[in-house]
Homo-oligomer: A and B are copies of this chain.
């Protein structure tokens, strides 16, 4: 349901999807916003787990970065199979929807996105440590790779083709290997 966005989905929609009555919903959640917080937490857990799986795979550090794209592809593929549509990254979707109008939300998303970029930075440092890529500051490169991931997910959503995540994964490896300048 978070594929359609916060504002496009009513409490009634949520309740009918979950097969509970509105009274039950308000028993557990003080307001609509509170289920959003739960959804954000749940999705963050999901994505943290996805990143963890990539990071703990027994492959090279750059392979781990590629694995993120592959796992994201699987995630979008299973959404496609269950809904007929590519839903995109729910955290990314909500970020775009809510960051402009809601400052506390922007800060939450800012933190979440920074955490994902940090995980990527870790893999980059490992890659530098074993000489897979040249040594330089990892943080901006991680940001670039994360930005690229989000953009590719947007394209996959627009094209309704999860496979684009695999097709364009090399872009991330290219950035990892070649992005050399690190403006402050």
Q: Which A positions have Cβ atoms within 8 angstroms of B?
A: 3-5, 7-8, 85-88, 92-93, 95-97, 99-101, 106, 109-110, 113, 140, 143-144, 146-152, 154-155, 157-160, 164, 166-168, 170-171, 174-175, 177-181, 183-184
Contacts and interface: CB of A to CB of B under 8 A. Distances in A.
A87 B92 CA distance: 15
Contact of A148 (B148, B157, B167, B177): B148
Given A110-B159, A147-B168, A97 B96 contact: yes
For the complex formed by this chain, how many copies does it contain in all?
2
18 contacts: A85-B100, A95-B158, A96-B157, A99-B157, A99-B158, A99-B160, A110-B158, A113-B155, A147-B152, A147-B155, A147-B171, A150-B151, A151-B151, A170-B179, A170-B181, A170-B183, A174-B178, A174-B180
Contacts of A158: 95, 99, 106, 109-110, 113
A117 to B, nearest CB: 9
B97 A154 contact: no
A1 to B, nearest CB: 10
Contact of A175 (B5, B113, B174): B174
A32 to B, nearest CB: 13
Given A92-B96, A100-B3, A144-B171, A154 B159 contact: no
B110 A154 contact: no
B168 A143 contact: yes
A146 B158 CA distance: 13
A113 B149 CA distance: 17
A3 to B, nearest CB: 5
